[in-house]
């Protein structure tokens, strides 16, 4: 990146709340139903219907606000945000404008070992829109579009950050921490691939040392951490190039084109942003008292940073390990479950950060969908400790467990992978290796300690890695 410029990033994150029913009607929020089967006169915006607020939505919004260190409003209301788009059946979205439920929060992130606090401007409640399928390659070429209103009316919270981030890495770290917190407090499942966690980024650049912000653009359509980071990297470069060429940044909405790796202007008309908000007359305001807030506060679980601290203090894990493991609640739960049956925390953390994460990534799986249960890993680790299998073989067994869902003991038995710890069996193999490798044998006898390694390697090869390495070393030394 150009050293003359500083980047300023703020994020608007939408998170679907995991209530059973929609925000203003009792249709299910379940994902993936047949089109338009989770709809009713209220969420279809038919004339004469009245919305009624789902109490759980308010509970969850308060919970998110508390977890993000916000002030909870004692009084708030809903407003109508007016615009025409086919995914919005009423031609307005019920949202919150000037009196959101939460404001003035903060969140701590860590990038390259440096801690930084990112301000949260506000959190407000609103309803999600329906889903459009354009009949054509892209919207501009589509002759028509199909609309499914199953998602219309699913509750959302929008979390707006301060423009406190200074790099795509910080933006990503913020988003990851936000996701972790929302999952820890169990208000959203945050499945980015299903759109239950989405993000728009406001980004601008300015010459270093300038006080005023540069003109910003807003990037929509960021549905993965990778997309967020890549889109920001591209957009920052683009803006700097425009400025370096003596041009001006146009304030506009841009869309991230994943396949081309570029952001493109959506060229929306100025008028489109005139939402003419006004108080929603169909819903009465909310008064939130201390009692309500305290009741929700009592349901707050241990949050990622607290849990990280506990893993360091209680189990002696390195800061780095604790950070990785607590980055996801599911991973941290996996760790805790393993420790119930196995008391070597560092070994468990090595396996979780190593083999487990590697296989999850390679198979594009979330921890929640991991085919290996904590107790299965514990069984494997115990087989290793007992000397039934070697560390190297354990990795092979783990892969097989991951692929087939079979338990460790069964894989070891079926594949005949038990470690050979029987001295007499090893002795005959070792004698053969000594006979067949006169050169390293002679080298070792002449004082070259290193030559022993070559011989151990030959024994491991002959036993397909099953020989007990300590025993092989011992017998070899005796024989030589």
Partner 1 sequence: MRITKKDVEHVALLSRLDLTEEEKEAYTKQLNSIIDYMNKINELDTEGVEPTAHVLPIYNVMREDEVGESLDREKVLENAPEKENGQFKVPRIV
Does 249 contact partner 1 by CB under 8 A? no
Beta bridge pairs of residue 363? none
**Interface pick for partner 1 out of 148, 164, 321, 355 (rule CB under 8 A):** 148
**Interface pick for Zn ion out of 11, 13, 43, 201 (rule CB under 5 A):** 43
Closest CB to partner 1 among residues 17, 173: 17
Closest CB to partner 1 among residues 132, 456: 132
**Interface pick for Zn ion out of 8, 17, 23, 27 (rule CB under 5 A):** 27
Q: Which residue has 């005949």 as its token pair?
A: 416
Those residues with Cβ within 8 angstroms of residue 343's Cβ, 6 or more apart along the chain or in another chain: none
Inter-CA distances, 165 with 6, 116, 202, Å = 10, 9, 10
Which residues from 100-139 bind partner 1, rule CB under 8 A?
132-134, 139
**Interface pick for Zn ion out of 2, 6, 33, 40 (rule CB under 5 A):** 40
Q: Which of partner 1, Zn ion, none sits in contact with 271, Cβ below 5 to 8 A by type?
A: partner 1
Q: Which of partner 1, Zn ion, none sits in contact with 361, Cβ below 5 to 8 A by type?
A: none
Nearest CA among 127, 59, 119 for reference residue 93: 127
Does 56 contact partner 1 by CB under 8 A? yes
Does 88 contact Zn ion by CB under 5 A? no
Query: Which bin fits 185, alpha (ψ -120 to 50), beta or left (φ > 0)?
Result: alpha
Give the DSSP letter string of 163-201.
S-B-SHHHHHHHHHHHHHHHHHTTS----GGGTSEEEEE
Those residues with Cβ within 8 angstroms of residue 233's Cβ, 6 or more apart along the chain or in another chain: 168
Closest CB to Zn ion among residues 63, 80: 80
Give 270's DSSP letter.
G
Q: Which stretch binds Zn ion (CB under 5 A): 43-51, 235-243, 300-308, 372-380?
A: 43-51
Q: Which residue has 């929603």 as its token pair?
A: 280
The tokens describing 474, both together, are: 């011992």
Does 291 contact partner 1 by CB under 8 A? no
Give the gyration radius of the chain's Cα atoms.
29
The C-alpha atoms of residue 91 and residue 83 are separated, in whole angstroms, by 6
3-state secondary structure of 461: helix
Q: Which of Zn ion, partner 1, none sits in contact with 82, Cβ below 5 to 8 A by type?
A: partner 1
Q: Which stretch binds partner 1 (CB under 8 A): 13-21, 101-109, 209-217, 322-330?
A: 13-21
**Contact residues for partner 1, defined by CB under 8 A:** 19-21, 26-28, 34-41, 44, 52-58, 75, 77, 82, 84-86, 99, 132-134, 139-140, 142-149, 271, 274, 276, 279, 281, 283-287
**Contact residues for Zn ion, defined by CB under 5 A:** 25, 27, 40, 42-43
């Amino acid at each position: 990146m150009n050293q003359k410029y500083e980047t300023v990033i703020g994020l608007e994150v939408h998170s679907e709340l995991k209530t059973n029913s929609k925000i203003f009607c009792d249709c299910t929020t379940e994902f993936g139903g047949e089109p338009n089967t989770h709809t009713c006169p209220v969420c279809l915006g038919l004339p004469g219907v009245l919305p009624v607020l789902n109490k759980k939505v308010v509970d969850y919004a308060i919970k998110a606000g508390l977890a993000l260190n916000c002030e909870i409003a004692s009084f708030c209301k809903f407003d109508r945000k007016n615009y025409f788009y086919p995914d919005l059946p009423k031609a307005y979205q019920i949202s919150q404008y000037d009196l959101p439920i939460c404001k003035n929060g903060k969140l701590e992130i860590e990038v390259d070992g440096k801690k930084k606090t990112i301000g949260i401007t506000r959190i407000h409640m609103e309803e999600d829109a329906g889903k459009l399928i354009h009949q054509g390659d892209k919207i501009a070429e589509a002759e028509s579009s199909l609309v499914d209103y199953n998602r219309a009316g699913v509750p959302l919270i929008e979390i707006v950050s301060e423009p406190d981030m200074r790099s795509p890495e910080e933006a990503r770290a913020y988003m990851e921490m936000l996701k972790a917190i929302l999952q820890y407090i169990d208000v959203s499942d945050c499945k980015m691939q299903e759109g239950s966690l989405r993000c728009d980024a406001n980004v601008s650049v300015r010459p270093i040392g300038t006080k005023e912000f540069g003109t910003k653009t807003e990037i929509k359509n960021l549905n993965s951490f990778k997309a967020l980071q890549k889109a920001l990297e591209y957009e920052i470069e683009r803006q700097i190039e425009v400025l370096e060429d003596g041009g001006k940044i146009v304030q506009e909405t841009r869309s991230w084109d994943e396949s081309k790796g570029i952001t493109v202007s959506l060229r929306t008309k100025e008028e489109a942003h005139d939402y003419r908000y006004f108080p929603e007359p169909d819903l009465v305001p909310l008064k939130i008292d201390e009692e309500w807030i305290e009741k929700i506060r009592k349901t707050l679980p241990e949050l990622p940073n607290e849990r990280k601290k506990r893993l360091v203090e209680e189990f002696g894990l390195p800061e780095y390990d604790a950070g990785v493991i607590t980055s996801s609640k599911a991973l941290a739960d996996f760790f805790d479950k393993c420790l119930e049956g196995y008391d070597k925390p560092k070994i468990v953390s090595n396996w979780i950060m190593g083999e487990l994460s590697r296989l999850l990534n390679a198979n594009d799986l979330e921890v929640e969908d991991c085919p290996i249960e904590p107790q299965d890993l514990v069984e494997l680790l115990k087989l290793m400790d007992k000397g039934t299998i070697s560390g190297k073989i354990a990795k092979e067994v783990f892969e097989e467990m991951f692929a087939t869902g079979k338990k460790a003991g069964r894989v070891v038995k079926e594949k005949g992978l038990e470690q050979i710890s029987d001295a007499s069996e090893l002795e005959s193999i070792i004698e053969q290796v000594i006979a067949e490798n006169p050169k390293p044998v002679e080298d070792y006898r002449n004082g070259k300690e290193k030559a022993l390694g070559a011989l151990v390697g030959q024994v491991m090869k002959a036993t397909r890695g099953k020989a007990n390495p300590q025993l092989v070393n011992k017998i070899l030394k005796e024989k030589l």
